[in-house]
Amino acid sequence: MPGLINITAQQSVSIYGYKQPLRVLNWKSVADREDLTFKKLFGLGITEKQLQVIQPDKNIWINEKGLQLAHITSVPSWKIHVTRDMHASIVEIAMLNLTPQFLQHTGVTFSDLVSSGLTLNLMMILKLDLTSWIHLGLYRDFLRDLTDVQSIALFNLPKNMVLQCVLEKSSDQYEKEVVSGPVPGQLFKGVIPMQQVGSHVKNHA
C-alpha cells in the first residue's frame, strides 16, 4: 500500500515551490504530476527506500513514472528483472555492464538471457567468466557448436573441459523433469563440482 514520506525543505521547494511549503510526499501527489518522474525524484535525493514507501509496486514506476533500464542498478532492493520487467535485448543488457552478482540477485537466469537474444557468438559481449556463466545456468546443449578457439577466447579452457563443468540441460528442462520425477543423481551426472572449476581455469591460464 502506498505510504507517506517526509522530505527536506530543499526537496519541498523543488517539488511544490515556495508558495506551498509541504514537508511530506505521497503517491497521489506524484501521480497527479507528469513532471514528477522516477528520475527527477531520485535526482532530488529521495532514496530507494523512500520511493518504495511512496509506491511499492515497481511496475507502476516503470509504466507510469519513467523508470528506465539505466535506472535499475540504482534500486537493487526492488529486484527489477532485465528481461521480465524491462524486456531488454541482450545488447541492451550488455551495455549496462551488470555484474553477475546483480543478475543473480534480481533472479536472471541463463535461459532468460537466451530468451533476450543471447547466442554463442554474443556471449563475448557480456564479459562474464565461466564460473559466472555456470551460476547463471549455462548448459551443454547451448555449447554444442562451440569450437576450441571460441572456448579458449570465452573461458580460457578447451571445450572438452568446459563441457565437464556445465549442466547437461537447461534449468527449464530440469524443472520439467522434476515434475515428472527424474532418476535421483542423474541431473548433475558428469558435472565437475563448482569448487574445482576455479582450479581448472588457473591451471590453463
Is 70 in a helix, a strand, or coil?
A: helix
Q: What percent of the chain has pLDDT over 90?
A: 78
Residue 133 one-letter amino acid:
W
pLDDT of residue 170: 74
pLDDT of residue 185: 46
- Has residue 71 got a pLDDT over 60? yes
Q: How far apart, in whole angstroms, are the C-alpha atoms of residue 103 and residue 70?
A: 14
Question: Percent helix, strand, coil in the chain (nearest 5)?
Answer: 55, 5, 40
DSSP state at residue 167: B
The mean per-residue pLDDT over the stretch 181-193 comes to 47
- Has residue 186 got a pLDDT over 70? no
Segments making up each domain of the chain, as ranges: 1-78
- Tell me the pLDDT tens digit for each residue of 75-106: 999 999 999 999 999 999 999 999 999 999 99
Cell matching residue 9: 525543505
Number of residues that this document lists for the chain: 205
DSSP state at residue 25: E
Cell matching residue 134: 555456470
- Has residue 189 got a pLDDT over 60? no
What pTM value is reported for the model? 0.81
Measure Cα distances from 14 to 30, 33, 100, 106, 133 in Å: 13, 13, 37, 32, 45
- Has residue 4 got a pLDDT over 80? yes
136 against 193, higher pLDDT: 136
Which single residue is written with the C-alpha cell 532485465? 82
